[in-house]
Amino acid sequence: MHKELQKAVASGHALPLMEAFYTIQGEGYHKGSAAFFIRIGGCDVGCHWCDVKESWNADLHPPTYIDEIVLQAKKHADVVVVTGGEPLMWDMTPLTAALKEAGMQTHIETSGAYPLTGTWDWICLSPKKRMLPKDKLYMEADELKVIIYNKDDLRFAAKQAAGVRESCKLYLQPEWSRREQAIPLIVDYVLQNPQWLASLQTHKYLNIP
């Protein structure tokens, strides 16, 4: 990598961009709404059921200057969702500053395993057992989304919810490959614990990115 570009990546002025696309948000609180998604490469959380394992190795994704990313985003939407991979492996401050300057709303989907950087209008925290969120992330989260693979994940969800703000939206979402087994668990749990809501990956049902 060119030394200048390497320096830009280190400072957050360029990012390993896996893909960027305009679509409908399929999950959680903002499901059904249009947004421009920025998927950043790089993740060491290592969820065995991850459906974007190709994002894990940041070296596979070309470093892209944030000015190019923002220009592309502005052509499509007023809301940007930054996801990964794990976007907080990188300094999000320059990207969110540029997006805000362009008049855009900034949303992030993160495991919380790395310190929070950037300025966000909405933070979706999706904690993972292998690398728990940093303490600060719990109190910053607007939405807590826990993926349910088996019954033990419900106990994990309860522990995670104990750390968030009272105003934080709580979602249980079935892991896609186990949805037939997980959905009945989620339904029963939400009926007994109505502070939680069920979330589905509706974009997969709609067959959109």
Helices (H) and strands (E) in the chain, counts: 7, 9
Mean pLDDT of 23-29: 94
Domain holding 82, by residue range, is 14-206
pLDDT digits (tens, 9 = 90+) for 135-168: 999 999 999 999 999 999 999 999 999 999 999 9
Facing residues of 38 across strands? 20, 82
4 lies in some domain? no
User: In this model, does residue 202 exceed pLDDT 90?
Assistant: no
7 lies in some domain? no
In total, how many domains does the chain have? Answer: 1
pLDDT-based confidence at 1, cuts 50/70/90? low
The predicted pLDDT at position 48 comes to 76
Are the C-beta atoms of 86 and 56 separated by less than 8 Å?
A: no
64 lies in some domain? yes
In one-letter notation, the amino acid at residue 160 is Q
The predicted pLDDT at position 133 comes to 97
The predicted pLDDT at position 180 comes to 92
CATH of the domain at 158: 3.20.20.70
174 lies in some domain? yes
The predicted pLDDT at position 144 comes to 98
8 lies in some domain? no
155: left (phi over 0), alpha (psi -120 to 50) or beta: alpha
Task: Tell me the pLDDT of the chain averaged across its residues.
Answer: 94
Give the relative orientation of helices 66-74 and 93-101 as an angle to the nearest 10 degrees: 40
69 lies in some domain? yes
**Backbone φ and ψ of 4, nearest 5°:** -65, -40
Q: Is the pTM of this model over 0.75?
A: yes
